[in-house]
Amino acid sequence: MSTVSEKISRRTGHYPYQHVAFQSYIKNSLTSNLYRPKNLTYTDKRIIVGFATEGSSSSEEEDFTEDFSWENLQHRTEKHQIEADPTSFTMKVISSLEENHSFVLKRRLLIMAFIFRMFFIGVQYSVILPTCMLYMKKFGVGETFTGTVIAAYPFASMISAFVVGYAYNKTRRVKEIILIMNTFQIIGNIVYALPYSPFLPLAGRFICGLGDSFIGATIGEICELYPKTHRTGIISLIEFGRIFGFMLGPLLHMVIQRKRYQLGGIEFDSTTFPGLAMTCFWIIMQLVTLFWVRNLAKSIRENPDLMDERDKEFSFTDKATEEEKKLLSEENKKSRDRKMSNHHGNKEEEKPTYLNNNNKERRTQPNIFEEISRFCTGNVIVIFYLDTVLWLAQSVFEFLLPLIAEFEYGWTPFQTGLVYMAGGIELIMVFGYLYYISKRNNFRDTYLILWSLVMTLLSLMLLIFERLMPKTSQKVGMFVTICGLMFVAVPLNLTGVKSLLSKITRPEFQGITQGLYGSVCSFSLIIGPMLGSLIYKHRAEYGGVTAMLSITCILALCVCMEKIHDREDQITIETENQEFLKDLATFRS
């Protein structure tokens, strides 16, 4: 077996001592009750360590030196070879244990369960909403009450998004959280399907909304299980599930249209049967959750050996960009200048804070409100602002599309449905492309958001001129172009913002961050239809105002982009250093 130094020099010509976490590990490994390392000097095959007597007040003087060969280091890591690549941020310990495919299978089933749940959410959205107005007409209620029933779902979702994110941060129990949310969906759809009072559909939609926003737990789990280069692709797959549900939902509506069913003395028609059908679907999802979902992130934190299986099955080495290389080289220069000799606190300060006396992981959890205050910087506020503008524009478009198509151009519901079908195919192609390129290229998510803003701006500018076109054929052509642009902007926004937030926030606070994001999205889904009903006859004015907001978003993103990238790189360095030091400390002698 090649020595560590031979293996690394043969591959890269560099040695892992350039990494700050590696130097910290050396110091922790060589610290004894009597001596502690002060100055570290490196040669091609040896490490010369200057020791000082424990309790010495001087930070520079050393009492004696000792040579350590790379082979000696390899022995100290107990058959776990240290592998490093200077063009990568990922430093890992590769276990010599046999491969265990159980963990990889559990992780894949977990992602499949997330996709299934998104699929059912998409089906529910496309089945319930088209029949909701007809359902309310049976009770003779007005438009205000009908709008309240429609808004009850996103309003409850806005509340639950933050609560679920906070609960995930505290417990890391994604399985139990999803089981509870599935229960809300089952109860809510049963209540919605009972045709006895208009308040039952209202209560049912609110209860269903409480079981909607599981994105905080989802992204939090993904950040624990996948490196940042995989997240954009994984998020694209999950969002693909929802879009696929949007497309298949109308097929279910066609099956139940104009049919009546008798069950337990209750008659279900095309307006109430969707609630009963969704109840069955959510029971299926409950079974999927029971058998497929595991609290993997929690298991990894409590059993670090699982990290080995994760590393062996997936490459965690992502090639650094020029900016990352610059950051890494600057960090290495600072660490070499310090010579790792100015750590003159007590030994407890040098030990990893996440290890207890049994050498198990125990990460320190800062106060959640302190982290929120540190997280809510000007750059992050800009991200939430531009995402709100994007969601408002896209939700208004979703509201206006059938109105313009059917009332302005005289299209039939079937023709309007073809637009949605074509848009769904376009969305699937975009999500598929994002998944494809995310596996082969390390790109910035800010560029996805920027493109989404540009697409939205172009569609809004076309909306200004759509009413000015003299011929109907010209209006239709411009309207179809607007639809095409918006159907591209939506997946770029959905994937880009979620992925970016996952990379500028520490893993232990992903739940609360994504919960806040989910609340912003739900708020926009409430305001969007209300705004759309007001500006239907004033689309040109709306397009002009929202286009100006989009321009301010583009300018703000361009101004803050470098700082956002710096924040992303900073979190990457911190996370990789902690993970590397954690793995090494776990396998220390």
* Predicted confidence (pLDDT) per residue in 143-186, tens digit: 778 878 888 898 999 889 888 888 888 888 999 999 999 999 99
pLDDT at 10 over 70: no
Contact 529, 399 (CB under 8 A): yes
Label residue 264 left, alpha or beta by phi (over 0 means left) and psi (-120 to 50 means alpha).
Answer: left
**Encoded tokens for 139:** 């009770």
User: Does this model's pTM top 0.75?
Assistant: no
Q: What are the pLDDT digits (tens) for 546-580?
A: 999 999 999 999 998 888 888 888 777 766 555 55
Q: How confident is the model at residue 1 (pLDDT cuts 50, 70, 90)?
A: very low
Residue 93 confidence (pLDDT): 29
pLDDT at 60 over 70: no
The DSSP symbol for 507 reads G
Contact 293, 214 (CB under 8 A): no
Across residues 61-79, what is the average pLDDT? 50
Residue 236 confidence (pLDDT): 87
Residue 382 confidence (pLDDT): 86
pLDDT at 589 over 50: no
DSSP E strand boundaries for 168-247: none
Q: What are the pLDDT digits (tens) for 296-348?
A: 888 877 765 544 433 333 333 333 344 434 443 444 444 444 433 443 343 33
Q: What are phi and psi of 567, to 5 degrees?
A: -60, -40
Contact 233, 434 (CB under 8 A): yes
Burial of residue 142, with CB atoms counted within 10 A of its CB: 0-12 exposed, 13-18 middle, 19 or more buried: exposed
Q: How confident is the model at residue 291 (pLDDT cuts 50, 70, 90)?
A: very high
Average model confidence (pLDDT) across the chain: 72
Residue 307 confidence (pLDDT): 45
Region(s) of the chain under CATH 1.20.1250.20: 90-303
pLDDT at 87 over 70: no
Match 């990922």 to its residue by tokens. Answer: 90
Round to whole Å and give the CA distance between 450 and 456. Answer: 10
Residue 252 confidence (pLDDT): 75
Residue 479's Cβ-side half-sphere holds a number of Cα atoms within 13 Å equal to 24
Q: Is 215 or 376 the better-scoring residue by pLDDT?
A: 215
Look at 41-50, 219-228, 474-483 and tell me which has the smallest mean pLDDT.
41-50
Residue 187 confidence (pLDDT): 96
Q: What angle do CA 521, 507, 236 make, to 5 degrees?
A: 50
pLDDT at 585 over 60: no
**Encoded tokens for 40:** 């570290």
Residue 189 confidence (pLDDT): 93
Q: What is the DSSP string of 407-434?
A: IIS---HHHHHHHHHHHHHHHHHHHHHH
Residue 45 confidence (pLDDT): 53
Query: What residues form DSSP beta bridges with 73?
Result: none
Round to whole Å and give the CA distance between 420 and 111. Answer: 27
Query: What residues form DSSP beta bridges with 37?
Result: 51
**Encoded tokens for 430:** 């975009």
Residue 285 confidence (pLDDT): 95
Alpha-carbon distance values, 31 to 35, 36, 37, 343, 413 (Å)? 6, 5, 6, 12, 75
Across residues 50-73, what is the average pLDDT? 53
Burial of residue 470, with CB atoms counted within 10 A of its CB: 0-12 exposed, 13-18 middle, 19 or more buried: exposed
Query: What residues form DSSP beta bridges with 267?
Result: 262
Residue 181 confidence (pLDDT): 95
Look at 334-348, 374-388, 532-546 and tell me which has the smallest mean pLDDT.
334-348
Look at 22-36, 243-257, 421-435, 542-556 and tell me which has the smallest mean pLDDT.
22-36
Alpha-carbon distance values, 128 to 71, 277, 441 (Å)? 66, 10, 39
- State how far Cα 149 lies from the chain centre: 29
Number of H helices, E strands in the chain: 21, 7
Round to whole Å and give the CA distance between 72 and 533. Answer: 73
Round to whole Å and give the CA distance between 444 and 557. Answer: 13
- The fold adopted by the segment(s) 90-303 is Growth Hormone; Chain: A; (1.20.1250)
Contact 395, 525 (CB under 8 A): yes
Q: Is 487 or 229 the better-scoring residue by pLDDT?
A: 487
Compute the CA torsion angle 52, 56, 60, 66 (nearest 10 deg).
0
How, if at all, do strands 46-53 and 35-42 pair? antiparallel
Other CB atoms within a 10 A radius of the CB of residue 365 amount to: 11
Label residue 56 left, alpha or beta by phi (over 0 means left) and psi (-120 to 50 means alpha).
Answer: beta
Of all residues in the chain, what percent carry a pLDDT higher than 90? 15
- Residue 250 makes CB contacts below 8 A (sequence gap 6+) with 126, 127, 130, 417, 420, 421
Residue 369 confidence (pLDDT): 60
Residue 512 confidence (pLDDT): 77
Contact 423, 479 (CB under 8 A): no
Roughly what angle, to the nearest 10 degrees, separates helices 322-338 and 20-30?
30
